[in-house]
Amino acid sequence: MKSRLKLILVLFCVLSVLLVGCNASDKEYNKEHGDKGVDESVTTTNSDATPNRKIIYKVDTDLTTNDITNSVNIIKDELNDDEWLDLEKISEYTAFLVVRVKSDRLDQFLDSISEGHDVTNFNKTATDVSLDYQDKSNLIRTYEAERDRLLELYEEASLNDMIEINRRLSEIEIEIQRLQGELNQFDSLVDYSEVKLNIYLDVDVEKEEELTFGDRVWSGLSGGFSALVIFLEALIVVIVTLLPWAVVFGPISYGVYRLVKRSQKKKKKMKETEKFPEE
């Protein structure tokens, strides 16, 4: 019984490896030969091999608007009840949104939000995960078949065989849950496309309001006061800059000035003496 159990386990392991290897070889073959043909040929080959294609769409676009808040509200209103926002960041001049939209109405959603906005950048990518999805699905079926066979053997197994079967069943269950989780993630990404929206405020086309007489007067007063403040600030800077020079050269200049004045007085007095000599 024990040797029979080991033989079955080995056969299932070999079958799993061969199945994964064959799928991987098919991928390489499609990739190598698909690159040499035209796009239409590649599309036809993929469709025949995987009739239920799994494609993940992602969109990244930039929009300009005159009103950030209004644009964000419009985009939110375009979402259905089963669609949602993954991320929302809003500032005075920009907004960044990440939304999840049903893939079967992705183009309709993009057309709706493009109305009333200038689209400055648009990038749409499509990733075909059909082969990966098929590989994981086949591997799950292989594990399930192995599990069913082990459960049949469990009824007639010895104690040691039961321990070995339980260990293998635990490993199989872990692998099935892991693979099923990856398939569920694929399904979510395929069913709901990710759309990243960068919204920018177009300040160049904002409507300028006409100023009243009072606004113009207040603007003139504000401008004059601002100019006066700037002048005073500049004057203070000049004074502070020249202050060290004044401290050093001020006394010297004053001393020179006093000497010159004294010399002038002395010369003047001498001239008066020569002009009016004492009798």
Q: Establish if 70 belongs to a structural domain.
A: yes
**Which 3 state secondary structure label does DSSP give 278?**
coil
Question: Which tens digits make up the pLDDT trace of 15-35?
Answer: 554 554 545 444 444 444 334
Residue 192 CA to residue 278 CA, distance in Å, equals 122
In this predicted model, which residue has the larger pLDDT, 255 or 185?
Answer: 185
Question: What confidence score (pLDDT) does residue 267 get?
Answer: 74
Total domains in the chain come to: 1
Q: Establish if 156 belongs to a structural domain.
A: yes
Residue 260 CA to residue 279 CA, distance in Å, equals 31
**Which structural domain range is residue 126 located in?**
2-203
Q: Establish if 81 belongs to a structural domain.
A: yes
Q: Establish if 53 belongs to a structural domain.
A: yes
Distant-in-sequence contacts of 138-143, Cβ < 8 A, 24+ apart: 138/19, 138/23, 139/16, 139/19, 139/20, 139/175, 139/179, 140/176, 140/179, 140/180, 140/183, 142/12, 142/15, 142/16, 142/19, 143/16, 143/172, 143/175, 143/176, 143/179
Question: What confidence score (pLDDT) does residue 29 get?
Answer: 41
Q: Establish if 232 belongs to a structural domain.
A: no
Closest CA to 117 of 60, 59, 197: 197
Closest CA to 129 of 188, 215, 67, 176: 188
Question: Which tens digits make up the pLDDT trace of 187-245?
Answer: 999 999 999 999 999 876 554 445 577 777 777 787 787 888 898 888 888 888 877 87
Q: Are 64 and 118 in contact (CB under 8 A)?
A: yes
Structure tokens at 142: 């292989």
Q: Establish if 217 belongs to a structural domain.
A: no
Indicate the average pLDDT of the chain.
80
Q: Is the pLDDT of residue 10 over 70?
A: no
Q: Establish if 98 belongs to a structural domain.
A: yes
Q: What pTM did the predictor assign?
A: 0.56
Q: Establish if 74 belongs to a structural domain.
A: yes
Residue 148 CA to residue 223 CA, distance in Å, equals 87
Q: What ranges in the chain are assigned the alpha helix state H?
A: 2-34, 39-49, 68-77, 106-114, 130-154, 159-191, 213-275
What pLDDT band is residue 55 in, cutting at 50, 70 and 90? Answer: very high
Structure tokens at 274: 């020569």
Above pLDDT 90, what percent of the chain? 49
- Strands 118-128 and 55-65: what pairing? antiparallel
